[in-house]
């Protein structure tokens, strides 16, 4: 496995930030759906991507929670490249 690509600045921000409560419901349903699977890497990836939304809204606690969950899932899977990326994102959070 090579190094992971950095987060794209407009990854899910483009889709979620302008639409408010309906997007919060969509994000919650997305997590519920992926968590019903055994796809640990995808569970982590969704959390990492969705962490951009609370960041835009200034909800640092939720951003941190999603990134910590992603980190723990990557660690459990042994996915070192994305584990490192997620730890880097966590280290950039200022509260």
CA quadruple 80, 46, 28, 66: dihedral sign:
positive
- Alpha carbon separation from 72 to 10, 47, 57, 58, 79 (Å, rounded): 25, 11, 24, 23, 10
Domain boundaries, given as residue ranges, for the chain = 22-91
Residue listed under structure tokens 């990326």: 85
Instruction: State the pTM of this model.
Output: 0.76
Q: pLDDT tens-digit profile of 3-30?
A: 555 544 445 555 555 556 677 778 888 8
DSSP 8-state symbol, 1? -
pLDDT (tens digit, 9 = 90+) per residue, 29-88? 888 999 999 999 999 999 999 998 888 888 899 999 999 999 999 999 999 999 999 999
Q: Which pLDDT belongs to residue 7?
A: 47
């Amino acid at each position: 496995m090579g190094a992971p690509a950095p987060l794209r600045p407009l990854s899910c921000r483009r889709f979620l930030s302008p639409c408010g409560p309906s997007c919060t419901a969509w994000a919650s349903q997305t997590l519920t759906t992926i968590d019903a699977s055994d796809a640990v890497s995808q569970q982590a990836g969704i959390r990492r991507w969705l962490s951009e939304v609370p960041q835009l809204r200034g909800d640092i606690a939720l951003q941190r929670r999603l990134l910590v969950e992603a980190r723990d899932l990557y660690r459990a899977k042994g996915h070192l490249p994305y584990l490192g990326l997620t730890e880097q994102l966590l280290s950039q959070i200022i509260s």
